[in-house]
Amino acid sequence: MREALAQGLDKFSLSAIAKSLGVASPALYRIVESRSHLLYACFDVIGPDMPKGMPGAKWQDIVRKWTREVWDVCDKYLGLDRVLIECPDSQAILRSDVRKYVREGDGESLSQEQLAVVETAADIVLLAHLAVSTWNDRKANADPRVLELRNRTVTKYRAEEASAKMSRDSELQFEPVRLRIESLITTVKWAAAVDRLRGEIDPPPPLLVFTVANGRPPKV
């Protein structure tokens, strides 16, 4: 598992792990059944680092804490952001977690529509982290086409981010949330474009984010 985590959860292969360990690939299959089996074993290692609740806290503080901790765990485990985005079950669990933690705080009075907006925190933090990770990827930055795309994007992104910036001490209102989602969409599009340039598969379309950004919270 250490080798899989070191190579990146989205990129490791059993053959590369076997080579790194100095063993033949068939020998590795005596320990793990498949790549998926090893990936889920890695999830067991990551589990204790995932966000925990804050019973009794304000729901705004819970969402802020939860998103920061998801970001931190994605920083710690290379490729986790992409794996969670590509795994529908994992996204559902994350959305369920943030909803549960908000209700454990003072979020019982939130409407279903408001909770639907809160749930998008799971999508936003993963998509944003994936975009930033791609942005910082040295191989991507070495590609002149990516550099040109980044330079075209950064000015617009920074302007939108500035207009959508929220004070940490202010109440987390829903209109600023939608504005912030719109600013993140620019970065998500950039990350997808980088993947296309590098010949990789695009991440799943962030339809939920686009829906909320356009002021139409999804049905719960």
Q: pTM of this prediction?
A: 0.62
Measure the CA–CA gap between 64 and 97, rounded to whole angstroms: 14
Tell me if 115 is assigned to some domain.
yes
Tell me if 218 is assigned to some domain.
no
Tell me if 157 is assigned to some domain.
yes
Kindly report, residue by residue over 34-57, the tens digit of the pLDDT. 888 888 888 888 988 988 888 888
Kindly report, residue by residue over 91-149, the tens digit of the pLDDT. 778 888 888 888 888 767 777 777 777 777 777 788 777 777 776 665 555 556 655 65
Structural domains in the chain (count): 2
Query: Could you tell me where the DSSP H helices lie in the chain?
Result: 2-7, 14-21, 25-28, 35-46, 59-76, 80-86, 88-104, 112-136, 138-141, 144-164, 174-197, 207-213
Tell me if 160 is assigned to some domain.
yes
Same domain, 135 and 185: yes
Tell me if 220 is assigned to some domain.
no
Same domain, 65 and 132: yes
- Residue entry with tokens 């204790």: 48
Same domain, 19 and 119: no
For residue 144, give its domain range: 50-213
pLDDT at 135: 65
Measure the CA–CA gap between 109 and 20, rounded to whole angstroms: 53
Same domain, 198 and 185: yes
